[in-house]
Structure 1
Amino acid sequence: MIKNNLSLLPIKQTKRLSLIFIGLLCLYIPTVLANEVEPKVKELNKVVNKNLSIFINPNLQNPIVKPPAKPRTYVPDSIKLADLSIQGQYQYLLSRSRTLNGYKMVNPYRLAGFYQSAQDSLNKLKQNSQKQIGLVKSLKDSLDQVKLQLAEKTDKLNNTQEAGDQINFLGINFNKTTYHLVVWTIIIGLGFGLFIIIARSTQKIAEARNRAQAYDEISAEFQAYKSKANEKERKLARELQDERNLVEELKNRGY
Protein backbone atom coordinates (compact mmCIF):
# COMPACT_ATOMS: atom_id res chain seq x y z
CA MET A 1 0.00 0.00 0.00
CA ILE A 2 2.83 2.30 0.89
CA LYS A 3 4.71 1.33 -2.32
CA ASN A 4 1.65 2.16 -4.43
CA ASN A 5 1.38 5.55 -2.74
CA LEU A 6 5.07 6.24 -3.29
CA SER A 7 4.80 5.47 -7.02
CA LEU A 8 2.08 8.01 -7.40
CA LEU A 9 4.11 10.85 -5.75
CA PRO A 10 6.63 12.90 -7.69
CA ILE A 11 10.27 11.79 -7.59
CA LYS A 12 11.47 14.72 -5.44
CA GLN A 13 8.85 14.12 -2.80
CA THR A 14 9.68 10.41 -2.86
CA LYS A 15 13.32 11.20 -2.09
CA ARG A 16 12.33 13.49 0.77
CA LEU A 17 10.03 10.89 2.30
CA SER A 18 12.71 8.24 1.98
CA LEU A 19 15.19 10.44 3.78
CA ILE A 20 12.69 11.17 6.56
CA PHE A 21 11.95 7.48 6.91
CA ILE A 22 15.64 6.61 7.11
CA GLY A 23 16.10 9.30 9.78
CA LEU A 24 13.26 7.91 11.85
CA LEU A 25 14.78 4.45 11.62
CA CYS A 26 18.13 5.81 12.79
CA LEU A 27 16.46 7.34 15.82
CA TYR A 28 14.36 4.30 16.63
CA ILE A 29 17.02 1.60 16.33
CA PRO A 30 19.44 3.01 19.02
CA THR A 31 16.54 3.42 21.44
CA VAL A 32 15.48 -0.21 21.01
CA LEU A 33 19.04 -1.41 21.31
CA ALA A 34 19.60 0.68 24.46
CA ASN A 35 16.49 -0.71 26.13
CA GLU A 36 17.57 -4.26 25.35
CA VAL A 37 21.29 -3.87 26.18
CA GLU A 38 21.04 -1.71 29.37
CA PRO A 39 19.76 -4.53 31.69
CA LYS A 40 22.47 -6.84 30.42
CA VAL A 41 25.12 -4.18 31.02
CA LYS A 42 23.90 -3.67 34.61
CA GLU A 43 24.03 -7.40 35.30
CA LEU A 44 27.51 -7.55 33.83
CA ASN A 45 28.66 -4.66 36.05
CA LYS A 46 27.28 -6.41 39.14
CA VAL A 47 29.15 -9.61 38.30
CA VAL A 48 32.39 -7.73 37.64
CA ASN A 49 32.10 -5.73 40.88
CA LYS A 50 31.37 -8.89 42.86
CA ASN A 51 34.35 -10.69 41.39
CA LEU A 52 36.60 -7.70 42.03
CA SER A 53 35.46 -7.42 45.66
CA ILE A 54 36.03 -11.15 46.20
CA PHE A 55 39.47 -10.83 44.60
CA ILE A 56 40.39 -7.89 46.82
CA ASN A 57 38.94 -9.33 50.07
CA PRO A 58 38.38 -13.13 49.93
CA ASN A 59 36.49 -13.02 53.22
CA LEU A 60 33.57 -11.38 51.45
CA GLN A 61 32.82 -14.67 49.65
CA ASN A 62 31.94 -16.19 52.98
CA PRO A 63 31.04 -13.15 55.10
CA ILE A 64 31.44 -13.55 58.83
CA VAL A 65 28.42 -12.55 60.82
CA LYS A 66 29.54 -10.55 63.87
CA PRO A 67 27.53 -10.72 67.06
CA PRO A 68 25.84 -7.49 68.11
CA ALA A 69 28.08 -5.20 70.15
CA LYS A 70 27.44 -5.19 73.85
CA PRO A 71 26.86 -1.83 75.49
CA ARG A 72 29.94 -0.58 77.29
CA THR A 73 29.86 0.04 81.00
CA TYR A 74 32.03 2.87 82.23
CA VAL A 75 33.58 2.60 85.68
CA PRO A 76 34.35 5.79 87.61
CA ASP A 77 38.03 6.66 87.97
CA SER A 78 39.64 5.62 91.23
CA ILE A 79 42.59 7.99 90.75
CA LYS A 80 42.29 11.19 92.75
CA LEU A 81 43.20 14.38 90.96
CA ALA A 82 45.95 16.51 92.46
CA ASP A 83 44.77 19.60 90.58
CA LEU A 84 40.99 20.04 90.84
CA SER A 85 40.90 23.16 88.67
CA ILE A 86 39.25 23.19 85.24
CA GLN A 87 42.66 23.26 83.57
CA GLY A 88 43.86 20.31 85.65
CA GLN A 89 40.72 18.27 84.92
CA TYR A 90 41.02 19.09 81.21
CA GLN A 91 44.66 17.94 81.11
CA TYR A 92 43.72 14.78 83.03
CA LEU A 93 40.88 14.11 80.56
CA LEU A 94 43.29 14.40 77.64
CA SER A 95 45.95 12.26 79.32
CA ARG A 96 43.44 9.46 80.07
CA SER A 97 42.00 9.45 76.52
CA ARG A 98 43.31 7.34 73.65
CA THR A 99 44.10 8.75 70.22
CA LEU A 100 42.71 7.14 67.05
CA ASN A 101 43.37 8.62 63.62
CA GLY A 102 44.17 11.99 65.18
CA TYR A 103 40.98 12.03 67.28
CA LYS A 104 40.68 11.67 71.05
CA MET A 105 38.44 8.86 72.33
CA VAL A 106 37.04 10.36 75.52
CA ASN A 107 35.40 8.35 78.27
CA PRO A 108 31.81 9.63 78.56
CA TYR A 109 31.93 9.30 82.35
CA ARG A 110 35.02 11.52 82.51
CA LEU A 111 33.48 13.92 80.01
CA ALA A 112 30.29 14.11 82.11
CA GLY A 113 32.40 14.74 85.22
CA PHE A 114 34.34 17.46 83.45
CA TYR A 115 31.09 19.02 82.21
CA GLN A 116 29.64 18.94 85.73
CA SER A 117 32.80 20.53 87.15
CA ALA A 118 32.69 23.23 84.49
CA GLN A 119 29.00 23.81 85.21
CA ASP A 120 29.69 24.06 88.96
CA SER A 121 32.54 26.47 88.31
CA LEU A 122 30.30 28.61 86.11
CA ASN A 123 27.60 28.63 88.79
CA LYS A 124 30.15 29.64 91.42
CA LEU A 125 31.45 32.35 89.13
CA LYS A 126 27.90 33.61 88.60
CA GLN A 127 27.27 33.65 92.36
CA ASN A 128 30.58 35.38 93.01
CA SER A 129 29.90 37.87 90.22
CA GLN A 130 26.49 38.64 91.73
CA LYS A 131 28.10 39.10 95.14
CA GLN A 132 30.77 41.30 93.61
CA ILE A 133 28.13 43.33 91.79
CA GLY A 134 26.27 43.80 95.08
CA LEU A 135 29.51 44.73 96.81
CA VAL A 136 30.40 47.20 94.07
CA LYS A 137 26.93 48.74 94.32
CA SER A 138 27.24 49.12 98.09
CA LEU A 139 30.73 50.56 97.70
CA LYS A 140 29.41 52.97 95.08
CA ASP A 141 26.66 54.10 97.46
CA SER A 142 29.23 54.48 100.24
CA LEU A 143 31.48 56.41 97.87
CA ASP A 144 28.64 58.75 96.96
CA GLN A 145 27.99 59.40 100.65
CA VAL A 146 31.69 59.99 101.24
CA LYS A 147 31.74 62.42 98.30
CA LEU A 148 28.82 64.35 99.81
CA GLN A 149 30.53 64.45 103.22
CA LEU A 150 33.77 65.50 101.57
CA ALA A 151 32.01 68.31 99.70
CA GLU A 152 30.44 69.55 102.96
CA LYS A 153 33.78 69.40 104.77
CA THR A 154 35.46 71.15 101.85
CA ASP A 155 32.95 74.00 102.09
CA LYS A 156 33.51 74.23 105.85
CA LEU A 157 37.26 74.15 105.31
CA ASN A 158 37.06 76.91 102.72
CA ASN A 159 35.00 79.04 105.10
CA THR A 160 37.42 78.33 107.93
CA GLN A 161 40.36 79.08 105.66
CA GLU A 162 38.81 82.39 104.61
CA ALA A 163 38.28 83.24 108.26
CA GLY A 164 41.80 82.09 109.09
CA ASP A 165 43.32 84.26 106.38
CA GLN A 166 42.16 87.36 108.30
CA ILE A 167 44.05 88.31 111.49
CA ASN A 168 42.87 91.01 113.88
CA PHE A 169 45.81 92.96 115.27
CA LEU A 170 45.28 96.06 117.35
CA GLY A 171 41.69 96.22 116.14
CA ILE A 172 42.75 96.13 112.50
CA ASN A 173 42.07 93.22 110.18
CA PHE A 174 45.14 92.17 108.27
CA ASN A 175 45.55 89.63 105.57
CA LYS A 176 47.53 86.68 106.82
CA THR A 177 50.25 87.21 104.22
CA THR A 178 50.51 90.91 105.03
CA TYR A 179 50.53 90.16 108.75
CA HIS A 180 53.32 87.63 108.36
CA LEU A 181 55.26 90.07 106.19
CA VAL A 182 54.94 92.83 108.80
CA VAL A 183 55.79 90.49 111.67
CA TRP A 184 58.84 89.10 109.92
CA THR A 185 59.94 92.62 108.99
CA ILE A 186 59.71 93.63 112.66
CA ILE A 187 61.51 90.46 113.72
CA ILE A 188 64.27 91.04 111.18
CA GLY A 189 64.58 94.70 112.29
CA LEU A 190 64.75 93.69 115.94
CA GLY A 191 67.30 91.03 115.09
CA PHE A 192 69.41 93.54 113.19
CA GLY A 193 69.17 95.99 116.10
CA LEU A 194 70.08 93.24 118.54
CA PHE A 195 73.05 92.35 116.37
CA ILE A 196 74.24 95.97 116.42
CA ILE A 197 73.77 96.13 120.20
CA ILE A 198 75.65 92.89 120.70
CA ALA A 199 78.44 94.09 118.39
CA ARG A 200 78.76 97.35 120.27
CA SER A 201 78.55 95.60 123.60
CA THR A 202 81.29 93.24 122.49
CA GLN A 203 83.39 96.22 121.48
CA LYS A 204 82.75 97.96 124.82
CA ILE A 205 83.51 94.78 126.70
CA ALA A 206 86.79 94.39 124.83
CA GLU A 207 87.64 98.03 125.53
CA ALA A 208 86.79 97.57 129.21
CA ARG A 209 88.97 94.48 129.33
CA ASN A 210 91.83 96.43 127.77
CA ARG A 211 91.37 99.25 130.29
CA ALA A 212 91.19 96.79 133.16
CA GLN A 213 94.34 95.12 131.89
CA ALA A 214 96.06 98.53 131.61
CA TYR A 215 94.89 99.44 135.10
CA ASP A 216 96.24 96.17 136.42
CA GLU A 217 99.56 96.83 134.73
CA ILE A 218 99.71 100.41 136.08
CA SER A 219 98.68 99.22 139.52
CA ALA A 220 101.40 96.57 139.45
CA GLU A 221 103.97 99.15 138.36
CA PHE A 222 102.76 101.51 141.10
CA GLN A 223 103.00 98.80 143.71
CA ALA A 224 106.52 97.96 142.53
CA TYR A 225 107.48 101.63 142.56
CA LYS A 226 105.89 102.07 146.00
CA SER A 227 107.76 99.10 147.40
CA LYS A 228 111.01 100.41 145.93
CA ALA A 229 110.30 103.89 147.34
CA ASN A 230 109.55 102.47 150.79
CA GLU A 231 112.72 100.41 150.71
CA LYS A 232 114.71 103.48 149.64
CA GLU A 233 113.01 105.55 152.34
CA ARG A 234 113.88 103.00 154.97
CA LYS A 235 117.45 102.90 153.69
CA LEU A 236 117.70 106.66 153.82
CA ALA A 237 116.13 106.68 157.30
CA ARG A 238 118.74 104.18 158.49
CA GLU A 239 121.53 106.23 156.94
CA LEU A 240 120.09 109.38 158.55
CA GLN A 241 119.90 107.65 161.88
CA ASP A 242 123.46 106.48 161.50
CA GLU A 243 124.56 110.03 160.79
CA ARG A 244 122.59 111.31 163.80
CA ASN A 245 124.17 108.71 165.98
CA LEU A 246 127.60 109.66 164.67
CA VAL A 247 126.91 113.35 165.38
CA GLU A 248 125.78 112.57 168.92
CA GLU A 249 128.81 110.44 169.46
CA LEU A 250 131.07 113.24 168.24
CA LYS A 251 129.29 115.71 170.54
CA ASN A 252 129.76 113.46 173.45
CA ARG A 253 133.50 113.24 172.73
CA GLY A 254 133.73 117.06 172.74
CA TYR A 255 134.54 117.78 169.22
Structure 2
Amino acid sequence: MKFAKILITFLLCVSTTGIIFAQEEEDKGSLNSGTIESQFDYMYKKSPKWEDYRSVKTNNLFKFKNNVIDSLKEARKIYAESQNVVSAQKIEIDSLNVKLEATKGNLSAVTEEKDSIKLLGIPMSKTGYNTILWTIIAALTGLLLFFIGKFKRSNTVTVDAKKAKAEIEEEYESHRQRSIEREQKLRRELQDELNKQKYSENATKKK
Protein backbone atom coordinates (compact mmCIF):
# COMPACT_ATOMS: atom_id res chain seq x y z
CA MET A 1 0.00 0.00 0.00
CA LYS A 2 2.78 2.43 0.90
CA PHE A 3 4.62 1.53 -2.29
CA ALA A 4 1.53 2.33 -4.34
CA LYS A 5 1.22 5.75 -2.69
CA ILE A 6 4.91 6.48 -3.30
CA LEU A 7 4.59 5.39 -6.95
CA ILE A 8 1.51 7.59 -7.51
CA THR A 9 3.23 10.58 -5.88
CA PHE A 10 6.33 10.05 -8.01
CA LEU A 11 4.29 9.82 -11.24
CA LEU A 12 2.42 13.03 -10.35
CA CYS A 13 5.73 14.85 -9.73
CA VAL A 14 7.14 13.61 -13.05
CA SER A 15 4.06 14.67 -15.00
CA THR A 16 4.00 18.08 -13.30
CA THR A 17 7.70 18.56 -14.02
CA GLY A 18 7.21 17.65 -17.68
CA ILE A 19 4.40 20.21 -18.06
CA ILE A 20 6.45 22.96 -16.45
CA PHE A 21 9.51 22.14 -18.56
CA ALA A 22 7.35 22.25 -21.70
CA GLN A 23 6.08 25.69 -20.73
CA GLU A 24 9.60 26.82 -19.97
CA GLU A 25 10.76 25.80 -23.47
CA GLU A 26 8.24 28.24 -24.95
CA ASP A 27 9.81 31.26 -23.28
CA LYS A 28 13.54 31.63 -22.82
CA GLY A 29 13.79 35.34 -23.44
CA SER A 30 14.52 36.22 -19.83
CA LEU A 31 17.73 34.18 -19.88
CA ASN A 32 18.94 35.97 -23.01
CA SER A 33 18.59 39.52 -21.70
CA GLY A 34 18.13 41.56 -18.56
CA THR A 35 20.14 41.82 -15.36
CA ILE A 36 21.65 38.87 -13.49
CA GLU A 37 19.04 39.34 -10.78
CA SER A 38 16.12 39.25 -13.25
CA GLN A 39 17.55 36.16 -14.96
CA PHE A 40 17.89 34.39 -11.60
CA ASP A 41 14.31 35.34 -10.67
CA TYR A 42 13.11 34.00 -14.02
CA MET A 43 14.98 30.71 -13.56
CA TYR A 44 13.67 30.41 -9.98
CA LYS A 45 10.05 31.04 -11.00
CA LYS A 46 10.24 28.63 -13.94
CA SER A 47 11.83 25.84 -11.87
CA PRO A 48 9.31 23.20 -10.73
CA LYS A 49 8.64 23.20 -7.00
CA TRP A 50 8.65 20.05 -4.94
CA GLU A 51 7.84 20.68 -1.28
CA ASP A 52 10.55 23.12 -0.12
CA TYR A 53 12.82 22.53 -3.09
CA ARG A 54 13.03 23.54 -6.75
CA SER A 55 14.56 21.64 -9.67
CA VAL A 56 16.62 23.76 -12.08
CA LYS A 57 17.10 22.61 -15.68
CA THR A 58 20.72 21.90 -16.50
CA ASN A 59 20.54 23.99 -19.69
CA ASN A 60 19.13 26.96 -17.79
CA LEU A 61 21.72 26.61 -15.04
CA PHE A 62 24.60 26.61 -17.52
CA LYS A 63 22.99 29.45 -19.47
CA PHE A 64 22.78 31.49 -16.26
CA LYS A 65 26.39 30.57 -15.45
CA ASN A 66 27.56 31.79 -18.86
CA ASN A 67 25.63 35.04 -18.40
CA VAL A 68 27.31 35.62 -15.03
CA ILE A 69 30.73 34.88 -16.54
CA ASP A 70 30.03 37.34 -19.38
CA SER A 71 29.06 40.00 -16.81
CA LEU A 72 32.30 39.36 -14.91
CA LYS A 73 34.32 39.67 -18.12
CA GLU A 74 32.62 42.98 -18.91
CA ALA A 75 33.32 44.26 -15.39
CA ARG A 76 36.97 43.22 -15.71
CA LYS A 77 37.17 44.96 -19.10
CA ILE A 78 35.77 48.20 -17.64
CA TYR A 79 38.16 47.92 -14.72
CA ALA A 80 41.18 47.40 -17.02
CA GLU A 81 40.18 50.37 -19.19
CA SER A 82 39.78 52.62 -16.16
CA GLN A 83 43.18 51.48 -14.87
CA ASN A 84 44.77 52.45 -18.19
CA VAL A 85 43.14 55.89 -17.99
CA VAL A 86 44.32 56.32 -14.41
CA SER A 87 47.89 55.32 -15.33
CA ALA A 88 48.00 57.76 -18.25
CA GLN A 89 46.65 60.60 -16.14
CA LYS A 90 49.10 59.82 -13.34
CA ILE A 91 51.98 60.16 -15.80
CA GLU A 92 50.64 63.54 -16.92
CA ILE A 93 50.22 64.71 -13.32
CA ASP A 94 53.77 63.63 -12.43
CA SER A 95 55.08 65.53 -15.46
CA LEU A 96 53.19 68.65 -14.41
CA ASN A 97 54.51 68.32 -10.87
CA VAL A 98 58.07 68.18 -12.18
CA LYS A 99 57.48 71.27 -14.31
CA LEU A 100 55.86 73.08 -11.40
CA GLU A 101 58.77 72.32 -9.08
CA ALA A 102 61.24 73.49 -11.73
CA THR A 103 59.30 76.73 -12.17
CA LYS A 104 59.24 77.33 -8.43
CA GLY A 105 62.98 76.79 -8.28
CA ASN A 106 63.54 79.32 -11.05
CA LEU A 107 61.28 81.78 -9.26
CA SER A 108 63.22 81.44 -6.01
CA ALA A 109 66.53 82.04 -7.80
CA VAL A 110 65.20 85.09 -9.61
CA THR A 111 63.69 86.75 -6.54
CA GLU A 112 67.11 86.72 -4.88
CA GLU A 113 68.53 89.15 -7.39
CA LYS A 114 68.45 92.84 -6.44
CA ASP A 115 69.06 94.61 -9.72
CA SER A 116 67.48 94.28 -13.12
CA ILE A 117 66.29 90.94 -14.33
CA LYS A 118 66.57 89.57 -17.85
CA LEU A 119 64.17 87.15 -19.42
CA LEU A 120 65.43 85.59 -22.67
CA GLY A 121 67.93 88.44 -22.87
CA ILE A 122 65.26 91.12 -22.43
CA PRO A 123 65.65 93.29 -19.31
CA MET A 124 62.48 93.95 -17.32
CA SER A 125 61.35 94.93 -13.88
CA LYS A 126 60.93 92.42 -11.10
CA THR A 127 57.23 93.13 -10.99
CA GLY A 128 56.77 92.30 -14.66
CA TYR A 129 58.97 89.23 -14.39
CA ASN A 130 57.13 87.98 -11.33
CA THR A 131 53.81 88.58 -13.04
CA ILE A 132 54.82 86.40 -15.97
CA LEU A 133 56.17 83.63 -13.79
CA TRP A 134 53.15 83.60 -11.50
CA THR A 135 50.90 83.49 -14.54
CA ILE A 136 52.76 80.42 -15.76
CA ILE A 137 52.55 78.87 -12.29
CA ALA A 138 48.83 79.61 -12.12
CA ALA A 139 48.31 78.02 -15.53
CA LEU A 140 50.29 74.92 -14.54
CA THR A 141 48.47 74.74 -11.22
CA GLY A 142 45.14 74.95 -13.04
CA LEU A 143 46.17 72.11 -15.33
CA LEU A 144 47.35 70.11 -12.34
CA LEU A 145 44.03 70.57 -10.54
CA PHE A 146 42.18 69.65 -13.72
CA PHE A 147 44.07 66.36 -14.09
CA ILE A 148 43.73 65.65 -10.37
CA GLY A 149 39.96 66.03 -10.78
CA LYS A 150 39.98 63.65 -13.74
CA PHE A 151 42.11 61.23 -11.75
CA LYS A 152 39.62 61.25 -8.87
CA ARG A 153 36.70 60.66 -11.21
CA SER A 154 38.54 57.77 -12.86
CA ASN A 155 39.35 56.38 -9.43
CA THR A 156 35.66 56.51 -8.54
CA VAL A 157 34.85 54.54 -11.70
CA THR A 158 37.52 52.00 -10.74
CA VAL A 159 36.12 51.60 -7.23
CA ASP A 160 32.59 51.16 -8.61
CA ALA A 161 33.83 48.57 -11.11
CA LYS A 162 35.61 46.64 -8.32
CA LYS A 163 32.49 46.78 -6.17
CA ALA A 164 30.26 45.58 -9.02
CA LYS A 165 32.71 42.78 -9.81
CA ALA A 166 32.81 41.68 -6.14
CA GLU A 167 28.99 41.75 -5.91
CA ILE A 168 28.58 39.69 -9.08
CA GLU A 169 31.16 37.13 -7.92
CA GLU A 170 29.51 36.91 -4.50
CA GLU A 171 26.05 36.56 -6.05
CA TYR A 172 27.23 33.84 -8.43
CA GLU A 173 28.99 31.91 -5.68
CA SER A 174 25.92 32.13 -3.46
CA HIS A 175 23.63 30.88 -6.24
CA ARG A 176 26.06 28.09 -7.14
CA GLN A 177 26.32 26.97 -3.52
CA ARG A 178 22.55 26.95 -3.07
CA SER A 179 22.12 24.96 -6.27
CA ILE A 180 24.66 22.39 -5.10
CA GLU A 181 22.97 22.13 -1.70
CA ARG A 182 19.54 21.66 -3.31
CA GLU A 183 20.89 18.99 -5.64
CA GLN A 184 22.55 17.14 -2.74
CA LYS A 185 19.34 17.25 -0.68
CA LEU A 186 17.28 15.94 -3.59
CA ARG A 187 19.75 13.10 -4.14
CA ARG A 188 19.64 12.16 -0.45
CA GLU A 189 15.85 12.21 -0.40
CA LEU A 190 15.66 10.13 -3.57
CA GLN A 191 18.10 7.62 -2.09
CA ASP A 192 16.03 7.48 1.11
CA GLU A 193 12.91 6.76 -0.93
CA LEU A 194 14.73 4.05 -2.89
CA ASN A 195 15.98 2.51 0.35
CA LYS A 196 12.45 2.56 1.80
CA GLN A 197 11.11 0.97 -1.38
CA LYS A 198 13.80 -1.71 -1.30
CA TYR A 199 13.12 -2.39 2.37
CA SER A 200 9.38 -2.65 1.71
CA GLU A 201 9.94 -5.10 -1.16
CA ASN A 202 12.27 -7.23 0.97
CA ALA A 203 9.71 -7.27 3.78
CA THR A 204 6.99 -8.30 1.32
CA LYS A 205 9.11 -11.12 -0.07
CA LYS A 206 9.85 -12.42 3.45
CA LYS A 207 6.11 -12.56 4.19
TM-score > 0.5, shorter chain as reference: no
Q: TM tier, shorter chain?
A: 0.3 to 0.5
Alignment TM-score, normalising by the size of structure 2: 0.39
Alignment TM-score, normalising by the size of structure 1: 0.33
